[in-house]
Amino acid sequence: MNASTNTYGYFFGIGSNIQPKTNFIKIIQQLVQLFGQIELSRILETEPVTIERDNKFVNAVSYIESNLDKDLLKQQLTQIETDLG
């Protein structure tokens, strides 16, 4: 499917524990490049649970509006994740 003329609203979680502060900023920058305006919840830094990691997690919830259907949006978000490792 391609982008449609309809506009959809999407909420999704974003976060990182690999270079969390650096990668979180990169995630936000890529989202703004792709979708223009985004809305972001407050940013939380949390301790890892049930896994052993030196880095804390940086997490938030984002809201965007886009004419991409959910499958194309998922592809875009997965590409961001892949690009940042």
Could you tell me if residue 85 is inside a domain? no
Could you tell me if residue 1 is inside a domain? no
- Which H/E stretch holds residue 26? helix 20-35
Predicted local distance difference test score (pLDDT) of residue 66: 93
Could you tell me if residue 19 is inside a domain? yes
Could you tell me if residue 39 is inside a domain? yes
Prediction pTM value = 0.80
Closest CA to 38 of 7, 12, 60, 63: 63
State the total domains in the chain: 1
Can you give the residue range of the structural domain that contains 40?
8-68
Could you tell me if residue 84 is inside a domain? no
> What confidence tens digit (pLDDT) does each residue in 28-73 have?
999 999 999 999 999 999 888 877 777 788 999 999 999 999 999 9
